[in-house]
């Protein structure tokens, strides 16, 4: 298919762009296969480059022959384009609609994008499972790297390499896979080096109504327990939801078959509920006419912060079992691709200081989200402004980032990255020139040769000039477990995402710059002091003559 | 001392209400003025001091295996029975300071110096001695600035037409455009009463601003409340009787509504394991943030009238010592960068609150008194400042800790500043015997400096234009940010040394 077929009016002059808190820009609008571009064609004015894939929905309005298109983006920004000429406006609107809803992944921009920067380190090779396993090997010999899924036939949503208990062979894994939803047999998610406890994740067991069991499954997860020790199974669903799942062939681990495990049910919502929550929250944030009462009641009714709280609470529970109780943990919900990953990744941020570094967080996202088979393509197909009925869309990853932001806000010195880093990941998960968040699982990525055909977000991000903006100036490595408060008054609305386009951030940005300035100045002085001290020490040892009067 | 039967208890557990994991074990000491808890296990042996006058009630709960829990409620604005002024802590608080120095403490903040800073008196405004002996208005200060053309008979006449004799007097003057904020109490207009002197007084205020042909008269109350007051012979200005005024209601609720709102807010924060919805619903139904927004909106209205229109404003509510104090001082902070400095905020509280007769002892329940007089009016002002600091992090020289410290001492009665209800009471009571908070704060100013403050920064200059969209308001400040506070104090100390 040629993009040109979809573009009836590639160019319009005299278009006026309205953006909140910024002056209007009049200029020429151009449509390309992947971008909407508006340029005033004057020096020193900023051009607007908007990826079609970032557009969530559009609205048309007409006053006489002047048409307006209101463009609502997946990053929650809303802009307005005034286009002279009814026909031009209609053509442009229909082109945007068509180009922003392309079905085929291989037509997406990452396949056409060529980097304009020097790649220092190819992000596609930065976080390979075999390298991560080397780190684990140095701590314990109880685990092995299995190639059972190398052609993605055992579990279609798992990567080709997974970490499993050493004593469980590949044949057993194949059997266990038939007993778990989507073939997602229990695999290692995290090894707590402090006490050797582990966190595993999986899909729900396919116990069904007649209580099917699988000896290999029991053996697999029991292999992670120390003699005489009990473990915890954290089911992210309520007991009712888990019971109902039995009727559809799913279910949970029964006490009888898993006597060494204590099961705890939590209630993290599933994707359609979360999507609805996002839509309500964004609607509340965009309505400027609210009174205080109405705003607070809409904020409450959106339930967004309740979801944040439930996820954080469950992650704290998992971390507590591992660190405080000295027990191993298995986490699953239904598919094991959404709430499960929220819990396992947040628990690691709480427990493991290395996840709070930039590289470590990228590794976590790569391992616990991208390679673990979170269906980004489906979940991030639409955002809060979509008019179409949601199918598989859900802000699961955004909720995870929101939870990380809540912890970052409570521990502002314990993270190497800043808020911008999290906002950037949110943007790229929904629309990007990079291939990192494309597709739903490793198998699809391999089929489309993503590493060969697209550029990794990490390749771009891990360069000094980008890292500079993403590094937290307050960071001081903290080797401790950090326990976030989940009390309601401790959880705030993430302004950096939800109010980003609704208020001017000038004063806050200035404050941030000022903080960076102070810290740099302090470092400079510290260096001077150290330098002078060294000089003094040298003088004292080299020339004792100077000291005698 | 006869009240202390057991001065020392060992093996006491101090429980953290939010996270029980963080409870601490130590020794509890009782003194005449404080309960002191000293941690015994931790290396730094952290101390927790609770001033007895800050305690509102003590709840003894059922014994458990680990002991008998005592729940101590603090700062809760309920009565502390049977105290006279002389029994307040400030009269027994004797730090090791020579008498001469103690006297000097009281000269540290001077409202008159602030008028000089504004360029007053000048050809339009004069310092009036009409209230020298508190005869015209017993709740007003002795030193007042009035329009140059206002003669004593006009002032006295106007004061007779105003509640509690609180005639229009200057609160803030803008040197650059001559616009002024004046304050008063409500007029005794009833349904039709008039007062020539009062009309002349307002005319004088208007004429003292040569660039403007009208002035605003702002009644900070909701319209209904003001109308109801007419039946009692009070009320608000009739636009027809006063030349060139524009009259405006600003809809801030009265002290009783504010007290209930805070009570509800405290109940919300004391809920046991509330859900997110419980908390947000409670926050909404308390109305607390709605009231904070109303005060801030009113301040913005006045500040814009002064800075952008160059029009003078007369502000009043009922008696002119609660809402009027809030609104005038919020407007001053928005208008003048000086009030965003440490010294400036002290001066502002001294001027608009202490000297103009905000009834601290009644509102903050320093003594046994009418519980209907208690209300968190100054708390709301300090919270408005906090909300502004969140929006303009570089514009304020003081930090959150400064606001919290001032707030604590408004209630603690450790210093004399806030004792009593008006200047007349206070002069007799405190200046001879007590210490001043301001010089204590100034001595320890290193603790209260906002490291991000830059006097030359663009957001520090001129009028602050905060957003009052509901989503710009944050919940109650949380003091849990220990991580970053420690870092700042470390950085600051390196710089100051």
**Chain B interface includes A492 (CB < 8 A):** yes
Separation of alpha carbons A171 and A470, rounded Å: 45
What is the mean predicted confidence (pLDDT) over B335-353? 97
Stated as kind and residue range, the H or E segment containing A170 is helix A170-178
What is the mean predicted confidence (pLDDT) over A245-264? 96
Same domain, A356 and A256: yes
Q: Point out the least confidently predicted range of A33-42, A155-164, A182-191, B214-223.
A: A33-42
Reported as half-sphere exposure (CB side, CA atoms, 13 A), residue A275 has a value of 21
Range of the domain at B465: 105-495
Q: Are B192 and B157 in contact (CB under 8 A)?
A: no
Given a cut of 70, is residue B479 above it in pLDDT?
no
Helices A396-410 and A419-430: angle between axes, nearest 10 degrees: 180
| Cα B382 to chain centroid, rounded | 6
Q: Which residue of B has its CA nearest to A519?
A: B491
Give the model's confidence band at B27: pLDDT under 50 very low, under 70 low, under 90 confident, else very high: confident
Given a cut of 60, is residue B497 above it in pLDDT?
no
Nearest to B494 among A487, A489, A522 (CB): A522
Please tell me the pTM assigned to this model. Answer: 0.91
**How many residues are listed for chain A in this entry?**
549
pLDDT in the model for residue B416: 93
- State the SS3 of B289-343: HHHHHHHHHHHHHHHHHHHHHCCCEEEECCCCCCHHHHHHHHHHHHHCHHHHCHH
Token pair 């208020």: residue? A503
Same domain, A486 and A521: no
Token pair 């006063």: residue? B242
Note whether A410 contacts B18, CB cutoff 8 Å. no
- B374 versus B492: the higher-pLDDT residue is B374
Same domain, B58 and B169: no
Stated as kind and residue range, the H or E segment containing B12 is strand B8-14
Stated as kind and residue range, the H or E segment containing B114 is helix B111-117
Given a cut of 70, is residue A545 above it in pLDDT?
no
Separation of alpha carbons A54 and A64, rounded Å: 29
Task: Return the CATH number at B50.
Answer: 2.30.29.30
- Residues 376-415 of chain B with CB under 8 A from chain A are 391-395
Sign of the alpha-carbon dihedral angle for B399, B403, B406, B409: negative
Same domain, B252 and B142: yes
Given a cut of 80, is residue B488 above it in pLDDT?
no
pLDDT in tens, B105-159: 999 998 889 999 999 999 999 999 999 999 999 999 999 999 999 999 999 999 9
pLDDT in the model for residue A205: 97
Separation of alpha carbons A88 and A67, rounded Å: 9
Q: Give B214's contacts (C-beta < 8 A, 6+ positions apart).
A: B206, B244, B245, B246, B311
Reported as half-sphere exposure (CB side, CA atoms, 13 A), residue A257 has a value of 17
Instruction: Kindly state the tokens that stand for B86.
Output: 């002389």
Three-class secondary structure of residue B211 per DSSP: coil
CB < 8 Å to B277, chain A: 300, 303, 306
Q: Give A173's contacts (C-beta < 8 A, 6+ positions apart).
A: A146, A148, A154, A164, A185, A216, A220
What is the mean predicted confidence (pLDDT) over A509-535? 93
How many C-beta atoms lie closer than 10 Å to residue B393's C-beta? 20
Note whether A483 contacts B19, CB cutoff 8 Å. yes
Q: Which residue of A has its CA nearest to B454?
A: A514
**Chain A interface includes B470 (CB < 8 A):** yes
Whether residue A107 lies inside any domain: the answer is no
**Chain B interface includes A529 (CB < 8 A):** no
Same domain, B397 and B276: yes
Mean pLDDT of chain B: 88
How many C-beta atoms lie closer than 10 Å to residue A289's C-beta? 8
Give the model's confidence band at B481: pLDDT under 50 very low, under 70 low, under 90 confident, else very high: very low
**Chain B interface includes A493 (CB < 8 A):** yes
Mean pLDDT of chain A: 94
Separation of alpha carbons B330 and B300, rounded Å: 8
pLDDT in the model for residue A201: 98
Q: Are B39 and B46 in contact (CB under 8 A)?
A: yes
Whether residue B1 lies inside any domain: the answer is no
Is B138 annotated as belonging to a binding site? Answer: no
pLDDT in tens, A109-133: 999 999 999 989 999 999 999 998 9
Same domain, B168 and B37: no
Same domain, B70 and B177: no
Given a cut of 70, is residue A286 above it in pLDDT?
yes
Given a cut of 60, is residue B177 above it in pLDDT?
yes
Query: In whole angstroms, how far apart are CA B377 and each of B80, B255, B268, B325?
Result: 19, 7, 19, 9
Whether residue A314 lies inside any domain: the answer is yes
- Residues 454-483 of chain A with CB under 8 A from chain B are 474, 476, 483
Same domain, A224 and A180: yes
Nearest to B471 among A293, A300, A493 (CB): A493
Catalytic residue set of B: 317
Given a cut of 60, is residue A532 above it in pLDDT?
yes
Same domain, A401 and A468: yes
Is B155 annotated as belonging to a binding site? Answer: no
Whether residue B110 lies inside any domain: the answer is yes
What is the mean predicted confidence (pLDDT) over B210-238? 95
CB < 8 Å to B392, chain A: 507
DSSP B396-448: -SB-HHHHHHHHHHHHH--SSTT-SSSHHHHHHHTTTT---HHHHHHHTGGGG
Note whether A491 contacts B276, CB cutoff 8 Å. yes
Same domain, A25 and A171: no
pLDDT in tens, A178-215: 999 999 999 999 999 999 999 999 999 999 999 999 99
Note whether A507 contacts B475, CB cutoff 8 Å. no
Q: Which of B175, B115, B149, B116 is nearest to B355 (CA)?
A: B115
Whether residue A112 lies inside any domain: the answer is no
Whether residue B301 lies inside any domain: the answer is yes
Question: For the purposes of burial, counting CB atoms within 10 Å of the CB of A362, is it exposed (0-12), middle (13-18) or buried (19 or more)?
Answer: buried
| A–B CB contacts, 8 A cutoff, strictly below | 122
Same domain, B66 and B111: no
Same domain, A515 and A407: no
Q: Give B334's contacts (C-beta < 8 A, 6+ positions apart).
A: B299, B300, B303, B388, B463, B464, B466
Same domain, B344 and B429: yes
Whether residue B488 lies inside any domain: the answer is yes
Whether residue A380 lies inside any domain: the answer is yes
- A228 versus A122: the higher-pLDDT residue is A122
Same domain, B148 and B47: no
Whether residue A350 lies inside any domain: the answer is yes
Give the model's confidence band at B57: pLDDT under 50 very low, under 70 low, under 90 confident, else very high: low
Q: Give B5's contacts (C-beta < 8 A, 6+ positions apart).
A: none
pLDDT in tens, B126-135: 999 999 999 9
What is the mean predicted confidence (pLDDT) over B398-417? 93
Whether residue A121 lies inside any domain: the answer is no
Instruction: Kindly state the tokens that stand for A337.
Output: 């691709």
**Chain A interface includes B277 (CB < 8 A):** yes
**Chain B interface includes A413 (CB < 8 A):** yes
Same domain, A72 and A160: no
pLDDT in the model for residue B20: 55
Same domain, A82 and A150: no
Q: Which of B283, B135, B404 is nearest to A492 (CA)?
A: B283
pLDDT in tens, A418-444: 999 999 999 999 999 999 999 999 999
Separation of alpha carbons B479 and B267, rounded Å: 19
Q: Which of B272, B468, B469 is the mutation pick for testing A, counting most A CBs within 10 A? A: B469
Same domain, A484 and A521: no
Whether residue B3 lies inside any domain: the answer is no
Whether residue A115 lies inside any domain: the answer is no
Helices A215-222 and A170-178: angle between axes, nearest 10 degrees: 120
pLDDT in the model for residue A541: 82
Total domain count, chain A: 3
pLDDT in the model for residue A339: 97
pLDDT in tens, A466-510: 999 999 999 999 999 999 999 998 999 999 999 999 888 899 999
pLDDT in the model for residue B77: 40
Q: Are B258 and B377 in contact (CB under 8 A)?
A: yes
What is the mean predicted confidence (pLDDT) over B181-187? 98
Give the model's confidence band at A1: pLDDT under 50 very low, under 70 low, under 90 confident, else very high: low
Task: Return the CATH number at A64.
Answer: 2.30.29.30
Note whether A488 contacts B481, CB cutoff 8 Å. no
Instruction: Kindly state the tokens that stand for B188.
Output: 């005794």
CB < 8 Å to A306, chain B: 275-277
Given a cut of 60, is residue B491 above it in pLDDT?
no
pLDDT in the model for residue B199: 97
CB < 8 Å to B473, chain A: 292
Is B319 annotated as belonging to a binding site? Answer: yes
Three-class secondary structure of residue B347 per DSSP: helix
pLDDT in tens, B361-379: 999 988 888 999 999 999 9
Range of the domain at A512: 507-542
pLDDT in the model for residue B495: 47
- Torsion of Cα atoms, B456 then B462 then B463 then B469, to 10°: -20
pLDDT in the model for residue B6: 81
Instruction: Point out the domain boundary residue: B34, B54, B74.
Output: B74
Is B322 annotated as belonging to a binding site? Answer: yes
- Residues 253-292 of chain A with CB under 8 A from chain B are 285, 288, 290-292
pLDDT in the model for residue A392: 92
Do the interacting molecules here have an ipTM over 0.85? yes
Total domain count, chain B: 2
Give the model's confidence band at B78: pLDDT under 50 very low, under 70 low, under 90 confident, else very high: very low
**Chain A interface includes B456 (CB < 8 A):** no
Query: In whole angstroms, how far apart are CA A285 and each of A70, A81, A298?
Result: 17, 22, 9
pLDDT in the model for residue B76: 43
pLDDT in tens, B426-460: 887 788 889 999 999 999 999 999 999 988 888 88
pLDDT in the model for residue A540: 85
Same domain, A485 and A534: no
pLDDT in the model for residue B79: 37
Q: Are A299 and A305 in contact (CB under 8 A)?
A: yes
Reported as half-sphere exposure (CB side, CA atoms, 13 A), residue B56 has a value of 11
Instruction: Point out the domain boundary residue: B57, B74, B91.
Output: B74
Same domain, A381 and A496: yes
Nearest to B393 among A294, A411, A511 (CB): A511
What is the mean predicted confidence (pLDDT) over B413-431? 89
DSSP B16-66: -SS-GGG-EEEEEEE-SSEEEEEESSSTT--EEEEEGGGEEEEEEPPPBTT
What is the mean predicted confidence (pLDDT) over A26-44? 89
Same domain, A145 and A84: no
Whether residue A110 lies inside any domain: the answer is no
Q: Are B391 and B452 in contact (CB under 8 A)?
A: no
Whether residue B241 lies inside any domain: the answer is yes
Q: Give A523's contacts (C-beta < 8 A, 6+ positions apart).
A: none
In A349-461, beta strands by DSSP E: none
**Chain B interface includes A518 (CB < 8 A):** yes
Instruction: Point out the domain boundary residue: B31, B57, B74.
Output: B74
pLDDT in the model for residue B84: 79
**Chain B interface includes A508 (CB < 8 A):** yes
Q: Give A444's contacts (C-beta < 8 A, 6+ positions apart).
A: A105, A377
What is the mean predicted confidence (pLDDT) over A56-63? 93
Separation of alpha carbons B249 and B244, rounded Å: 17
| Cα A46 to chain centroid, rounded | 29
Q: Which of B252, B264, B276 is the mutation pick for testing A, counting most A CBs within 10 A? A: B276
Is B394 annotated as belonging to a binding site? Answer: no
**Chain B interface includes A294 (CB < 8 A):** yes
Whether residue B134 lies inside any domain: the answer is yes
């Amino acid at each position: 298919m040629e993009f040109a077929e979809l573009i009836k009016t590639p160019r319009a002059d005299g278009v006026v762009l309205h953006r909140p808190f910024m002056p209007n820009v009049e200029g020429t609008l151009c449509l390309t296969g992947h971008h909407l571009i508006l340029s005033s064609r004057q020096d020193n004015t900023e051009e607007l480059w908007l990826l079609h894939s970032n557009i969530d929905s559009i609205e048309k309005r007409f006053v006489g022959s002047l048409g307006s298109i209101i463009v609502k983006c997946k990053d929650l920004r809303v802009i307005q384009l005034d286009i002279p000429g009814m026909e031009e406006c209609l053509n442009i609107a229909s082109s945007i609609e068509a180009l922003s809803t392309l079905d085929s992944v291989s037509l997406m921009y990452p396949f056409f994008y060529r980097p304009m920067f020097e790649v220092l380190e190819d992000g596609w090779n930065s976080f390979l499972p075999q390298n991560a396993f080397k780190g684990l090997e140095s701590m314990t010999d109880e685990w092995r790297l299995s190639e059972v899924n190398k052609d993605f036939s055992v579990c279609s949503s798992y990567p080709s390499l997974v970490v499993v208990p050493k004593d469980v062979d590949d044949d057993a894994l194949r059997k266990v896979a038939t007993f778990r939803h989507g073939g997602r047999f229990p695999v290692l998610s995290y090894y707590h080096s402090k006490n050797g406890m582990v966190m595993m994740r999986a899909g729900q067991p396919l116990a069904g109504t007649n209580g099917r069991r699988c000896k290999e499954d029991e053996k697999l997860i029991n292999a992670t327990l120390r003699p005489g020790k009990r473990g915890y199974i954290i089911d992210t669903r309520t007991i009712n939801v888990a019971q109902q799942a039995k009727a559809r062939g799913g279910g949970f681990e029964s006490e009888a078959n898993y006597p060494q495990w204590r099961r705890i049910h939590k209630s993290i919502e599933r994707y359609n509920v979360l999507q609805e929550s996002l839509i309500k929250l964004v609607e509340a944030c965009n309505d400027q006419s609210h009174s205080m009462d109405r705003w607070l009641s809409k904020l409450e009714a959106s339930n967004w912060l309740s979801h944040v709280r439930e996820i954080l609470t469950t992650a704290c529970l998992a971390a507590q079992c591992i660190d405080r109780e000295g027990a191993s943990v298995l986490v699953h919900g239904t598919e094991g691709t959404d709430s499960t990953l929220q819990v396992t990744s947040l628990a690691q941020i709480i427990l493991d200081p290395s996840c709070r570094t930039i590289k470590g967080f990228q590794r976590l996202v790569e391992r616990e989200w991208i390679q673990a088979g979170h269906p980004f393509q489906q979940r991030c197909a639409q955002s809060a402004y979509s008019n179409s009925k949601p199918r598989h869309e859900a802000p699961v990853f955004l909720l995870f980032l929101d939870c990380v932001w809540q912890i970052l806000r409570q521990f502002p010195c314990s993270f190497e990255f800043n808020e911008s880093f999290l906002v950037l990941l949110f943007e790229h998960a929904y629309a990007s020139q990079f291939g990192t968040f494309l597709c739903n699982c490793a198998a699809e990525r391999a089929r489309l040769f993503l590493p060969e055909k697209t550029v990794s977000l990490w390749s771009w991000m891990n360069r000094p000039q980008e890292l500079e903006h993403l590094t937290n100036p307050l960071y001081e490595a903290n080797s401790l477990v950090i326990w976030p408060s989940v009390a309601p008054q401790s959880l705030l609305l993430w302004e950096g995402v939800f109010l980003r386009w609704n208020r001017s951030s000038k004063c806050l940005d200035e404050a941030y710059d000022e903080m960076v300035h102070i810290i740099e100045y302090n470092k400079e002085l510290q260096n001077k002091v150290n330098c002078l001290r060294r000089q003094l020490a040298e003088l004292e040892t080299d020339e004792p003559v100077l000291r005698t009067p | 001392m006869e009240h202390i039967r057991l001065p020392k208890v060992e093996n006491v557990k101090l429980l953290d209400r939010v996270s029980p994991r963080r409870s601490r074990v130590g020794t509890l000491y009782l003194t005449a003025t404080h309960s002191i808890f000293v941690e015994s296990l931790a290396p730094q042996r952290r101390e927790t001091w609770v001033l007895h006058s800050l305690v509102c009630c003590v709840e003894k709960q059922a014994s458990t295996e680990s002991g008998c829990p005592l729940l101590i409620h603090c700062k809760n604005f309920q009565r502390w029975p049977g105290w006279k002024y002389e029994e307040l802590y400030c009269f027994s608080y004797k730090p090791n300071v020579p008498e001469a120095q103690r006297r000097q403490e009281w000269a540290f903040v001077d409202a008159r110096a602030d008028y000089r800073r504004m360029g007053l008196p000048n050809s339009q405004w004069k310092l009036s001695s009409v209230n020298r002996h508190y005869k015209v208005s017993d709740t007003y200060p002795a030193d007042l600035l009035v329009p140059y053309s206002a003669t004593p008979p006009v002032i006295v006449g106007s004061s007779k037409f105003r509640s509690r004799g609180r005639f229009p007097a200057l609160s803030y003057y803008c040197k650059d455009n001559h616009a002024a904020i004046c304050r008063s109490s409500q007029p005794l207009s009833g349904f039709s009463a008039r007062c020539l002197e009062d009309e002349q007084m307002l005319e004088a205020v208007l004429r003292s601003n040569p660039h403007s042909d009208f002035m605003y008269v702002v009644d900070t109350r909701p319209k209904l409340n003001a109308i109801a007051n007419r039946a009692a012979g009070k009320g608000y200005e009739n636009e027809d009787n006063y030349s060139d005024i524009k009259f405006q209601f600003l809809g801030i609720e009265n002290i009783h509504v504010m007290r209930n709102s805070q009570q509800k807010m405290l109940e919300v924060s004391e809920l046991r394991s509330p859900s997110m919805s419980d908390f947000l619903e409670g926050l909404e139904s308390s109305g607390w943030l709605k009231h904070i927004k109303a005060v801030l909106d009113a301040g913005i209205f006045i500040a814009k009238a002064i800075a952008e229109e160059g029009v003078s404003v007369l502000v009043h509510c009922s008696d002119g010592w609660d809402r009027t104090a809030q609104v005038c001082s919020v407007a001053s902070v928005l208008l003048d960068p000086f009030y965003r400095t440490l010294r400036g905020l002290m001066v502002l509280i001294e001027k608009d609150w202490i000297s103009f007769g905000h009834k601290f002892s009644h509102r903050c329940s320093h003594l046994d008194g009418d519980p209907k007089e208690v209300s968190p009016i100054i708390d709301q002002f300090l919270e408005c400042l906090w909300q502004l600091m969140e929006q303009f992090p570089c514009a304020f020289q003081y930090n959150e800790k400064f606001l919290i410290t001032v707030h604590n001492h408004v209630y603690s009665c450790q210093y004399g500043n806030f004792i009593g209800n008006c200047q007349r009471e206070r002069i007799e009571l405190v200046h001879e015997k007590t210490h001043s908070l301001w010089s204590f704060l100034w001595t320890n100013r290193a603790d209260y400096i906002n490291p991000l403050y830059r006097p030359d920064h663009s957001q520090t200059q001129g009028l602050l234009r905060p957003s009052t969209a509901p989503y710009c308001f944050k919940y109650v400040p949380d003091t849990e940010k220990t991580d970053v506070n420690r870092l700042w104090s470390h950085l600051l100390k390196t710089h100051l040394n």
